[in-house]
């Protein structure tokens, strides 16, 4: 068994990659996928924590997070599709009417 | 493997304290029923049906709440996932009242020529034939009511949860409907959709942070339970690095919802783009729920790390007040102005939160009671103000440009007078609830040892007065703007306005009842 | 429980003001307003009689229990003097503004706002709880703002905002001190805002000084002292004479009232510490205000600047810490209310005829409107503190009392007395004397003071004369406040140097 | 320093003395009545007003009679009216002190005042605002009586300010003339400067003695520290300078001649302007405790008596010549008062005789003006002795009195002062002597230019004698000018001694060496004037001259210019500066602050770019801030 701390470091790396992706990607879908990556990094951390403490809560929590993520996808996709139909674009930078 | 499976095998049916949880369960139940109604009822009856359902639920919920409160039901409920303590009662009551008032504004159809302020068909492309058809057929999205109820229920759970994962789920339960509601404006649909997208993306981003924080705390303590985390921190002799990381990320997630600088960027855009009744609902309900949850997490779970997070919150409070107020100074859109105002108010709330006065003699105000009072006062003014925003109109819909509000006093002195009242309450001028609230949070902060923060807050509110005044000056001191009229609203808009006004004055003149309620709600239980 | 006279007194005009927001005819509104202000005056007189008769009028009911705030009202001599002044001036102002300016809000709105302002001011003067005081102190700004913005001159909006921002700036700084007072009190086991409870709390050291400064800054803005006075000339210039009367005559008194009641009443040590500074500050105000009045080309500004000068005398008297000077200051607060009222209202009558407040727009009025000129002269003489008119008595008490402690300061300050003669008489000379100008002939011929205008001026001048010739009852009314305050601060009057003179 | 015998405590008022307050109240009430009644009282107002003054005069005479009958120690009577106000240890009583000094004043004021009222009935008969004039005159009488009858300095000050007000109202009585209005303002403001002295003096007395009562101040004076006694003395002197037009506060008096002539006679010659002398005499105990202050009084008085005389020599306006003369004569009185116990009685003596002869001459001048269509320029007169016989004769009596012609009233009073001055200090004595010579010079000039020589009347002017209502007061005053001196000469010192601590000394009708010298100097002055003005014709317009002495005299010794330079211009500049500072300085700073916030706000709005990704970046930045703060707290 590897040192459980390594899982946490991996989780942190994934989280960082995800957040950098949100910052850099223009396509709303890709940005949204990066958010999902962040959530999954958290899942990894939760499961690792579950392992460290020998308790189940973390794993159960991961399931909850997955369900929630699925629900988020439903809403998110609905919004992105709506935007796409209006603007023929999914670039988050194009939606730039609200400012200042 | 067996060790993993064992608890599953032993799992018993969960127990629920039905009566104590009735207020929140009813809201969720009604939301589900509302979805069913959409499927079952013919279009012509849906609006009426939904409204009946919503307001009946609200009444019954409030009734249960009051009876339970008087009966002192409470404690750790739902197998340790909900904590029904005094603050929960107070904030549930506030949420239900503000939710009900906000839903009334949802129901306004007279202002808009017989339709609600929501899009006839949110799925149709703006400017398309589909949209025109839907409008001509007088379609309406009566789903807004169940969505609103889901959001409300989510918020109630959010601030009451004593388990971090429940809190996360509740966060999403109330956030997702709000993302949708933001995108459903009938007019200026491009803006509305953009608001929804931004809110959604950034909201999801922030919930990622929140979740990561939860994970770190879990890794540290081995539990998701707030009280257990507290115990773990108290008993910790080694490094607290994980706690710090968890604390930071959870704070980011929560403060995003509160609208604290530098996690506030979404606020002006979303407030401006969303349909005004939804903005009104969000402005108070989201803030209240998020502040409640923040207090719960930090006072209950992270109390032992107080010396770490107090300076952090103090810095953020200063930043928030400064950015919120300075940002508001030059706004030309009234909804953006109110958005920046809400940021500034988040700062004032943080001031008291930092002070964290929790141990004073019985019957004396604490940080929690001050903040709850503040939120109640702020809520009534917010609901009223946003309802009034819907009433000042031009040919294209709402007149949100502040210049368009010139000389409203001459057109309708009541609208101008009441709007001024709400502005004065926001500004914290005496004889309004806003003043008592502001004074109470300052007192709590100073008693908690943060006198310097109070001085900063006082100076900040001095600058803040200017932009609230500006609106009053515009309404009373300028010539009437052309092409702007004050719409003839129905009781659905007027009731929230009048209730807001009466409550604002009431809480300004005789605040004792509400203050006693907030004070005797006591502290957060572990 | 005895009848809550003080609550009743304050609520009466407030109820009247709220009633006036109901739709009603113009005539009915004015009658109602006058009736309410008249009844308030009657109740104020009754309250005075009760107080003088030794009745205990104090009201004390818990208000915000969680933070130790009380609905506590009481009057002492100073409070009663202010209450009476407010109650007398309100009906006079209503009469003077019987026909508010055209093209502005309705007379009904004016009457309503004035009554509300009266009620709030009365509560300020009666409040015996720091938070309650603050609450009404700030609340008075709102009706005043609307009185300026709804009825004022061309730049009314600018003036109203300036007034409000200056006042709120002071008020918010004070809020910090209000909070601090409670926190310090709570730390010493007195979690209460009652003035009587707080008197037992020691506000020592730097914290006490900062807290005192918070109060003081608010009062210095209010009682306009240089350099925080610039809002006053603008506010006066761009509001109606009635509003200016209430603003300067009543509201600004809250500043000096607060200095005595709260700065000295809560922070004796810190007040003594600030004294040297305040004394010179007051002298600067006296001279600065007088010079400003000399330089004014606008009548309303001129009167406003005279008030800056007079407030300097009041502050000087307060911080000289002698019985005579402080009694003089309190008495001055009363007298100044009437003398400025006279000035503002007469100037208003003049402007009603010409539509202008510019000194240059007048000339030779005396010839065609002698009664108007005479009334202006008497008002002016009161303003320059001529013996026989009330302000002299108070100004003399301030000067003589201050002299016993600070002869040099006093010597500098009474240059203001000479300057007062300059600004009043020059103004009178330019507007009332000289050859009758065409403009004057057209506007004033056959339009001397009307009956209603005379009815406005008679009581004011009557009060000024009565208090000028027989000030003893009023002085005796307010002297106990000065004595009690001085005893609390712990200073005693300097004894006469030469023994055995008596 | 001469120690005074204790001054007798005033006795309580009984009998007629309980009526003393009506002397003040009746004219005051009549004044108020006439002002309030308005046009209703136009027809009879002047009669009521005149009657009111005669009422006061009657009371004064009765009181005087009672005093004469009473023993010397019981002549001073205190008649308190009511407590004005009391604060702390101080009590201020409205109280009257009718003693030997004040009763003389009361009779002078009401007597001369009554005559002037009668005269004014004729003089003002054509003025539409005559009623108002009489109301103001009554106001003056009331205030002046309050001034001299008060038993403490504060009430004295009330009267002091009251006469200032009346003087202001009467100087600017013809308000439609801008010069009259300006003169009134000037008089009031300059008097106010003197009032500063009064206020400071009273304040110091309160600080020193805890009271402003004459009796208590006098009792304490001797034990006062010299510095404070000197200061009080100087403050009082400042007050006296303002009211009595002494240098440096003299500039208002000549302008005050803008008022109607009866006003000039009553207020600016006979009574009000002598209040300064009264004040100094009344405060004798204080001055005796402060030799420096006495010296200051003497210096001021000497300068003034010469300056006034100088002005008198070069003015062409008949009233201004008389005004300069008034200044000068008051200088004599002040000089006497400054000399100390040796001079008090002479100061009051000269004050009384001057009151008679100067009122006489002013009214005479008024009579001349009445006949000359209100022309005041003596260069337009000439040869009036033939057409205005009564006026000429009465005026001549006044003339002889003022130059000190033997056995006329001025001869006694002025010569005593010059003698006392010589006794005190030779230099001062010489100055006083020179003053007498100049007096003779300018008065002779006035007589010559007005009544003798050829007619220089302007076209359309037909001089005529004035009506009886004006000439009868002239005759009475002329009689007094002639006879008052010899009547009072032997009596007044004894009479005043208890009140002012005077030291009577022997007087005889035979001139002393100083007296002879004075007569010679006066004769020299008369002859010089005759040589200059009596032999040649007088030009109708004032000839241009480069003679600095004449120029200075014509310009009233440049008093206005000095005041302008020293006080008026700086004040105006400051006032303008304050206006600018308030508008551009303080307000600009506040506005600047507001603009700075506005600018900051505009800058900050740029951060709100509208790009969701940049918002996310802000959040990440926020996360870094959170991290940084937490790390800092952990380190701390």
d(CA B352, CA B364) in angstroms, rounded, equals 15
Taking one residue from C and the other from D, the number of pairs with CB-CB distance under 8 angstroms is: 187
Which helix (DSSP H) or strand (DSSP E) does residue C71 occupy?
strand C69-73
Instruction: Tell me the pLDDT band of D3, cut-offs 50, 70 and 90.
Output: very low
Question: What is the residue whose two structure tokens read 């950015």?
Answer: B323
At D4 the pLDDT is 43
**Does residue A100 surpass a pLDDT of 90?**
no
Domain containing C304: what range?
Answer: 268-492
- Cross-chain residue pair A22–D613, CB shorter than 8 Å: yes
Q: Is A24 in the D-facing interface, judged by CB distances under 8 Å?
A: yes
**Does residue D6 surpass a pLDDT of 80?**
no
Q: Are D435 and D333 in contact (CB under 8 A)?
A: no
Q: Is residue C257 part of a domain?
A: no
For residue D95, list its beta bridge partners: D80
B335–chain A nearest CA distance, Å: 12
* Average pLDDT score over residue span A48-71: 92
Question: Residues with Cβ < 8 Å from A99, sequence gap 6 or more?
Answer: B269, D608, D609, D610, D611
d(CA D326, CA C61) in angstroms, rounded, equals 72
Q: Is residue C182 part of a domain?
A: no
- Cross-chain residue pair A39–B208, CB shorter than 8 Å: yes
Residue numbers in C near D175 (CB within 8 A)? 364, 366-367, 432-434
d(CA C334, CA C82) in angstroms, rounded, equals 6
Which DSSP symbol is given to C364? -
- Cross-chain residue pair C67–B443, CB shorter than 8 Å: yes
At C1 the pLDDT is 53
- Cross-chain residue pair B172–A68, CB shorter than 8 Å: yes
Question: Residues with Cβ < 8 Å from D291, sequence gap 6 or more?
Answer: D1
User: Is residue D98 helix, strand or coil?
Assistant: strand
Q: What does pTM read for this prediction? A: 0.92
Longest dimension (CA), chain C: 73
Residue B483 token pair: 């092409």
Chain D interface disruption, residue of C168, C295, C461, most D CBs within 10 A:
C295
At D2 the pLDDT is 38
Q: Is residue C321 part of a domain?
A: yes
Residue numbers in B near C66 (CB within 8 A)? 363-365, 369, 440, 512, 515-516, 518-519
Chains A and C touch, contact meaning at least 3 pairs of CB atoms under 8 angstroms apart: no
At B7 the pLDDT is 52
Nearest CB partner across the interface for A79, out of B126, B183, B268: B183
Residue C454 token pair: 């005379």
With CA atoms as reference, the chain A residue closest to D616 would be A23
Q: What is the pLDDT of residues D213-254, one digit of tens each?
A: 998 898 888 888 889 999 999 999 999 999 999 988 888 999
Instruction: Tell me the pLDDT band of A93, cut-offs 50, 70 and 90.
Output: confident
Chain A interface disruption, residue of D616, D618, D619, D621, most A CBs within 10 A:
D616
What percent of chain D lies above the pLDDT cut of 70? 97
Q: Are D376 and D449 in contact (CB under 8 A)?
A: no
For residue D213, list its beta bridge partners: D152
Residue C174 token pair: 């004070």
At B169 the pLDDT is 96
Nearest CB partner across the interface for B451, out of C139, C146, C180: C180
Q: Are B101 and B385 in contact (CB under 8 A)?
A: no
Give the torsion through C-alpha atoms of D452, D457, D463, D466, to 10 deg: -70
Residue B273 token pair: 């783009």
d(CA D250, CA B46) in angstroms, rounded, equals 98
**Does residue C276 surpass a pLDDT of 60?**
yes
Nearest CB partner across the interface for D609, out of A23, A26, A99: A99
More confident residue, C14 or B15: C14
- Cross-chain residue pair D613–A31, CB shorter than 8 Å: yes
d(CA C178, CA B436) in angstroms, rounded, equals 12
Q: What is the pLDDT of residues C183-196, one digit of tens each?
A: 999 989 888 999 99
Those chains having 3 or more beta-carbon pairs within 8 angstroms of chain D are A, B, C
At C98 the pLDDT is 87
d(CA D454, CA C347) in angstroms, rounded, equals 55
Q: What is the pLDDT of residues D391-443, one digit of tens each?
A: 999 999 999 999 999 889 999 899 889 999 998 889 999 999 999 999 999 99
Which range (D1-10, D92-101, D374-383, D494-503) has the least confidence?
D1-10
Taking one residue from B and the other from D, the number of pairs with CB-CB distance under 8 angstroms is: 82
Residue D222 token pair: 């001797």
D21–chain C nearest CA distance, Å: 15
Residue numbers in A near B268 (CB within 8 A)? 98
Which region holds residue B58: left if phi is over 0, alpha if psi is between -120 and 50, else beta?
alpha
Using alpha carbons, select from B149, B23, B31, B14 the residue that is nearest to residue B74: B23
Structural domain count of chain C: 1
- Cross-chain residue pair C435–D216, CB shorter than 8 Å: no
Question: What is the residue whose two structure tokens read 């960027």?
Answer: B265
Q: Is residue C145 part of a domain?
A: no
Residue numbers in B near D625 (CB within 8 A)? 262, 315
**Does residue C29 surpass a pLDDT of 70?**
yes
Residue numbers in C near B459 (CB within 8 A)? 172
Which helix (DSSP H) or strand (DSSP E) does residue D534 occupy?
none
User: Is residue D251 helix, strand or coil?
Assistant: coil
Neighbours of B386 (CB within 10 A): 29
Instruction: Tell me the pLDDT band of C502, cut-offs 50, 70 and 90.
Output: very low
Q: Are B282 and B203 in contact (CB under 8 A)?
A: no
- Cross-chain residue pair C322–D88, CB shorter than 8 Å: yes
Which DSSP symbol is given to D584? I
Residue numbers in A near D624 (CB within 8 A)? none
- Cross-chain residue pair B462–C168, CB shorter than 8 Å: yes
At D560 the pLDDT is 85
d(CA C18, CA C36) in angstroms, rounded, equals 11
B496–chain D nearest CA distance, Å: 32
At C334 the pLDDT is 96
Q: Are A44 and A15 in contact (CB under 8 A)?
A: no
At B205 the pLDDT is 95
- Cross-chain residue pair C150–B469, CB shorter than 8 Å: no
- Rounded to the nearest integer, the mean pLDDT of chain C is 92
Q: What is the pLDDT of residues D281-326, one digit of tens each?
A: 999 989 999 999 999 999 999 999 999 999 999 898 999 999 999 9
Residue numbers in B near C141 (CB within 8 A)? 429
- Cross-chain residue pair B197–D612, CB shorter than 8 Å: yes
At B2 the pLDDT is 45
Residue numbers in B near A8 (CB within 8 A)? 219
Question: What is the residue whose two structure tokens read 């004075």?
Answer: D518
At D347 the pLDDT is 93
- Cross-chain residue pair B256–D619, CB shorter than 8 Å: yes
Helices marked H in B183-303: 189-221, 226-234, 241-258, 266-273, 276-281, 287-295
Chains B and A touch, contact meaning at least 3 pairs of CB atoms under 8 angstroms apart: yes
C102–chain D nearest CA distance, Å: 29
Neighbours of C451 (CB within 10 A): 7
Question: Per-block average pLDDT, block size 10, for chain B (526 residues)?
Answer: 51 80 95 94 90 95 94 85 92 96 93 85 85 86 93 96 94 96 90 93 95 95 93 87 93 95 93 95 96 94 89 95 93 94 96 77 82 96 96 90 92 93 94 94 91 93 89 87 91 96 95 91 80
d(CA B271, CA B283) in angstroms, rounded, equals 8
Taking one residue from A and the other from B, the number of pairs with CB-CB distance under 8 angstroms is: 135
Question: CA angle at residue C154 from C152 to C158, to 5 degrees?
Answer: 80
With CA atoms as reference, the chain A residue closest to D604 would be A100
Residue numbers in C near B510 (CB within 8 A)? 63
Q: Is A30 in the D-facing interface, judged by CB distances under 8 Å?
A: no
Burial class (CB in 10 A: 0-12, 13-18, 19+), A70: exposed
User: Is residue B397 helix, strand or coil?
Assistant: strand
Chain B interface disruption, residue of A22, A44, A46, A90, most B CBs within 10 A:
A46
- Cross-chain residue pair C472–D84, CB shorter than 8 Å: yes
Residue numbers in A near B125 (CB within 8 A)? 85-86
* Average pLDDT score over residue span D488-496: 85
Q: Is residue C279 part of a domain?
A: yes
- Cross-chain residue pair B462–C131, CB shorter than 8 Å: no
At D555 the pLDDT is 83
Question: Residues with Cβ < 8 Å from A26, sequence gap 6 or more?
Answer: A91, A92, A93, D613
- Structural Rg of chain C based on CA atoms: 22
Give the residue numbers in D contacting B (CB under 8 Å), as ranges.
Answer: 594, 597-598, 600-602, 604-605, 607-608, 610, 612, 614-616, 618-619, 621-623, 625-627, 629-630, 632-634
- Cross-chain residue pair D176–C367, CB shorter than 8 Å: yes
Helices marked H in D558-635: 559-563, 569-580, 587-605, 612-635
DSSP assignment of B274-287 equals: S-HHHHHHIIIIIH
Q: Is residue C409 part of a domain?
A: yes
CA distances (Å), origin B135, targets B116, B125, B209, B310, C252: 11, 12, 41, 52, 59
- Rounded to the nearest integer, the mean pLDDT of chain D is 90
d(CA B482, CA B407) in angstroms, rounded, equals 10
Q: Is D591 in the C-facing interface, judged by CB distances under 8 Å?
A: no
Which range (C73-87, C385-399, D507-521) has the least confidence?
D507-521
């Amino acid at each position: 068994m590897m040192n459980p701390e390594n899982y946490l470091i991996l989780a942190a790396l994934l989280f960082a990659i995800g957040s950098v992706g949100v910052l850099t990607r223009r396509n709303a879908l890709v940005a949204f996928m990066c958010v999902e990556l962040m959530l999954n990094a958290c899942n990894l951390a939760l499961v690792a924590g579950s392992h460290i403490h020998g308790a189940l809560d973390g794993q159960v929590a991961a399931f909850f997070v997955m369900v929630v993520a699925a629900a988020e996808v439903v809403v998110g996709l609905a919004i992105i599709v709506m935007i796409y139909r209006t603007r023929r674009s999914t670039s988050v930078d194009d939606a730039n009417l609200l400012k200042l | 493997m067996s060790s993993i499976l064992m608890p599953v095998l032993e799992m018993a049916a969960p127990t629920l304290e039905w009566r104590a949880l009735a207020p929140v369960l009813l809201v969720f139940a009604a939301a589900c029923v509302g979805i069913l109604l959409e499927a079952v009822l013919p279009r012509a009856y849906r609006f009426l049906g939904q409204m009946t359902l919503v307001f009946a639920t609200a009444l019954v919920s409030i009734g249960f709440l009051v009876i339970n409160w008087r009966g002192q039901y409470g404690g750790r409920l739902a197998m340790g996932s909900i904590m029904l303590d005094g603050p929960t009662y107070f904030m549930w009551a506030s949420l239900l009242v503000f939710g009900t008032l906000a839903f009334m504004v949802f129901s306004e159809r007279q202002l808009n020529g017989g339709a609600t302020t929501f899009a006839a068909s949110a799925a149709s492309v703006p400017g398309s034939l589909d949209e025109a058809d839907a409008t001509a057929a007088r379609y309406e999205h009566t789903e807004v009511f169940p969505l609103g109820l889901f959001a409300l229920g989510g918020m109630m759970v959010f601030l009451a949860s004593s388990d971090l994962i429940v809190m996360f789920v509740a966060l999403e339960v109330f956030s997702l409907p709000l993302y949708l509601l933001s995108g459903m404006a009938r007019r200026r649909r491009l803006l509305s959709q953009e608001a929804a997208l931004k809110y959604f993306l950034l909201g999801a981003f922030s919930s990622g942070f929140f979740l990561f924080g939860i994970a770190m705390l879990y890794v540290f303590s081995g539990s998701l339970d707030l009280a257990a985390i507290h115990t773990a921190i108290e008993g910790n002799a080694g490094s607290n690095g994980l706690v710090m990381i968890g604390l930071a990320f959870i704070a980011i997630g929560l403060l995003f919802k509160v609208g604290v600088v530098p996690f506030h960027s979404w606020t002006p855009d979303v407030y401006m783009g969303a349909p005004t009744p939804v903005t009104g609902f969000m402005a108070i309900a989201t803030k209240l729920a998020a502040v409640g949850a923040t207090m719960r997490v930090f006072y209950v779970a992270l109390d032992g790390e107080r010396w770490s997070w107090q300076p952090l919150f103090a810095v953020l409070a200063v930043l928030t007040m400064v950015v919120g107020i300075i940002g508001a100074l030059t706004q030309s859109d009234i909804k953006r102005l109110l958005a920046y105002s809400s940021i500034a108010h988040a700062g004032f709330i943080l001031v008291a939160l930092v002070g964290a006065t929790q141990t004073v003699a019985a019957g004396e105000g604490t940080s929690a009671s001050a903040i709850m009072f503040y939120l109640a006062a702020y809520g009534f003014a917010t609901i009223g103000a946003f309802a009034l925003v819907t009433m000042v109109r031009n040919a294209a819909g709402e007149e949100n440009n502040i210049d368009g509000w010139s000389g409203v006093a001459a057109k309708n002195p009541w609208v101008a007078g009441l709007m001024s009242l709400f502005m004065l309450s926001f500004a914290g001028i005496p004889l309004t609830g806003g003043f008592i609230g502001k004074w109470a949070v300052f007192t709590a902060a100073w008693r908690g040892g943060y006198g310097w923060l109070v001085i900063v807050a006082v100076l900040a509110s001095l600058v803040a007065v200017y932009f609230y005044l500006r609106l009053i000056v515009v309404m009373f001191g300028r010539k009437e703007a052309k092409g702007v009229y004050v719409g003839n609203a129905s009781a659905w808009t007027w009731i929230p306005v009048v209730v807001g006004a009466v409550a604002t004055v009431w809480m300004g003149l005789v605040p004792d009842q509400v203050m006693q309620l907030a004070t005797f709600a006591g502290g957060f239980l572990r | 429980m005895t009848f809550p006279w003080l609550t009743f007194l304050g609520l009466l005009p407030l109820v009247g003001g709220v009633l006036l927001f109901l739709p009603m005819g113009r005539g009915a509104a004015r009658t109602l307003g006058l009736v309410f202000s008249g009844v308030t005056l009657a109740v104020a007189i009754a309250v005075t009689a009760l107080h003088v008769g030794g009745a205990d009028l104090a009201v004390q009911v818990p208000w915000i229990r969680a933070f130790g705030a009380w609905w506590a009202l009481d009057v002492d001599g100073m409070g009663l003097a202010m209450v009476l002044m407010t109650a007398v001036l309100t009906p006079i102002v209503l009469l003077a503004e019987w026909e508010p300016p055209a093209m502005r809000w309705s007379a009904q709105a004016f009457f309503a706002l004035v009554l509300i302002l009266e009620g709030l001011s009365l509560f300020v003067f009666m409040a015996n709880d720091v938070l309650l005081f603050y609450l009404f102190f700030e609340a008075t700004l709102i009706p005043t703002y609307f009185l300026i913005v709804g009825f004022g001159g061309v730049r009314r909006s600018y003036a109203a905002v300036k007034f409000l921002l200056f006042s709120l700036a002071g008020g918010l700084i004070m809020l910090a001190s209000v909070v601090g007072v409670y926190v310090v009190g709570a730390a010493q086991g007195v979690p209460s805002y009652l003035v009587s409870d707080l008197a037992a709390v020691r506000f020592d050291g730097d914290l006490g000084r900062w807290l005192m400064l918070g109060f003081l800054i608010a009062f210095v803005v209010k009682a306009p002292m240089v350099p925080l006075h610039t809002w006053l000339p603008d506010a006066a210039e761009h509001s109606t004479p009635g509003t200016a009367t209430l603003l300067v005559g009543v509201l600004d008194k809250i500043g000096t009232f607060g200095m005595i009641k709260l700065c000295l009443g809560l922070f004796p040590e810190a007040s003594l510490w600030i004294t040297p500074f305040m004394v010179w500050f007051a002298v600067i105000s006296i001279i600065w205000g007088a010079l400003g009045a000399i330089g004014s080309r606008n009548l309303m500004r001129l009167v406003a600047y005279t008030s800056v000068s007079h407030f300097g005398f009041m502050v000087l008297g307060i911080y000289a810490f002698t019985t005579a000077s402080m009694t003089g200051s309190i008495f001055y607060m009363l007298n100044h209310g009437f003398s400025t009222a006279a000035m503002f209202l007469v100037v208003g009558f003049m402007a009603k005829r010409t539509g202008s407040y510019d000194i240059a727009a007048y000339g030779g009025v005396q010839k065609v409107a002698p009664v108007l000129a005479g009334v202006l002269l008497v008002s002016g003489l009161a303003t320059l503190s001529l013996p026989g008119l009330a302000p002299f008595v108070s100004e003399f008490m301030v000067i003589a009392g201050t002299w016993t402690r600070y002869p040099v300061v006093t010597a500098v300050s009474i240059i203001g007395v000479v300057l007062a003669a300059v600004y009043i008489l020059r103004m009178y000379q330019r507007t009332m004397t000289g050859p009758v100008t065409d403009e004057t002939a057209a506007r004033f011929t056959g339009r001397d003071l009307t009956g209603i205008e005379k009815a406005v001026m008679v009581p004011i001048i009557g009060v000024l004369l009565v208090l000028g010739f027989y000030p003893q009852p009023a002085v005796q009314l307010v002297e106990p406040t000065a004595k009690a305050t001085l005893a609390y601060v712990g200073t005693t009057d300097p004894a006469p140097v030469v023994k055995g003179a008596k | 320093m001469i120690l005074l015998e204790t001054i007798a405590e005033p006795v309580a008022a009984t009998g007629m003395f309980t009526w003393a307050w009506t002397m003040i109240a009746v004219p005051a009430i009549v004044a108020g009545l006439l002002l309030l009644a308005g046009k209703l009282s136009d027809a009879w107002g002047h009669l009521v007003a005149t009657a009111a003054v005669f009422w006061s005069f009657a009371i004064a005479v009765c009181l005087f009679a009672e005093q004469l009958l009473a023993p010397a120690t019981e002549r001073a009577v205190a008649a308190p009216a009511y407590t004005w106000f009391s604060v702390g240890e101080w009590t201020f009583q409205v109280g009257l002190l009718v003693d030997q000094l004040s009763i003389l004043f009361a009779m002078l004021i009401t007597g001369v005042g009554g005559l002037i009222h009668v005269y004014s009935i004729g003089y003002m008969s054509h003025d539409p605002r005559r009623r108002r004039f009489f109301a103001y005159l009554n106001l003056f009488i009331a205030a002046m009586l309050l001034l001299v009858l008060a038993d403490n300095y504060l009430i004295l000050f009330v009267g002091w300010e009251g006469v200032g007000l009346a003087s202001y109202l009467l100087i600017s009585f013809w308000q439609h003339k801008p010069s009259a209005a300006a003169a009134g303002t000037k008089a009031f403001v300059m008097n106010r400067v003197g009032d500063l002295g009064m206020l400071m003096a009273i304040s110091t007395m309160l600080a020193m003695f805890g009271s402003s009562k004459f009796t208590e101040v006098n009792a304490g004076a001797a034990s006062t520290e010299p510095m404070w006694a000197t200061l009080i003395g100087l403050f009082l002197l400042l007050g006296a300078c303002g009211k009595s037009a002494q240098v440096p506060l003299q500039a208002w008096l000549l302008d005050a001649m803008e008022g109607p002539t009866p006003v000039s006679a009553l207020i600016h010659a006979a009574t009000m302007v002598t209040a300064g002398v009264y004040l100094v005499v009344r405060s004798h105990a204080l001055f005796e405790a402060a030799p420096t202050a006495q010296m200051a009084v003497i210096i001021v008085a000497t300068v003034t008596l010469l300056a006034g005389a100088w002005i008198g020599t070069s003015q062409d306006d008949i009233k201004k010549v008389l005004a300069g003369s008034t200044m000068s004569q008051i200088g004599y009185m002040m000089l006497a008062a400054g000399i100390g116990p040796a001079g008090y009685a002479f100061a009051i003596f000269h004050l009384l005789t001057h009151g008679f002869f100067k009122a006489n001459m002013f009214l005479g001048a008024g009579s001349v003006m009445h006949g000359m269509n209100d022309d005041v320029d003596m260069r337009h007169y000439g040869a009036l002795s033939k057409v205005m016989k009564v006026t000429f004769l009465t005026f001549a009596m006044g003339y002889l009195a003022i130059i000190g012609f033997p056995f006329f009233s001025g001869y006694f009073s002025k010569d005593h002062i010059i003698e006392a001055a010589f006794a005190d200090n030779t230099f001062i004595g010489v100055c006083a002597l020179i003053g007498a010579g100049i007096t003779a010079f300018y008065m002779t000039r006035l007589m010559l230019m007005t009544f003798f020589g050829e007619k220089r009347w302007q076209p359309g002017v037909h001089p005529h004698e004035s009506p009886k209502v004006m000439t009868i007061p002239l005759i009475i005053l002329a009689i007094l000018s002639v006879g008052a001196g010899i009547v009072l000469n032997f009596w007044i010192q004894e009479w005043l001694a208890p009140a002012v601590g005077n030291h009577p000394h022997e007087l005889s009708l035979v001139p002393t060496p100083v007296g002879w010298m004075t007569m010679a100097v006066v004769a020299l002055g008369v002859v010089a004037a005759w040589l200059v003005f009596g032999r040649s014709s007088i030009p109708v317009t004032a000839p241009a001259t480069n003679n600095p002495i004449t120029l200075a005299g014509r310009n009233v010794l440049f008093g206005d210019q000095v005041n302008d330079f020293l006080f008026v211009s700086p004040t105006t500049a400051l006032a303008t500066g304050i206006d600018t500072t308030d508008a551009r300085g303080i307000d600009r700073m506040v506005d600047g602050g507001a603009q700075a916030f506005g600018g900051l706000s505009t800058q900050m709005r740029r951060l709100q770019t509208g790009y969701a990704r940049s918002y996310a970046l802000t959040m990440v930045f926020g996360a870094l801030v959170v991290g940084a703060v937490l790390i800092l707290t952990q380190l701390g």
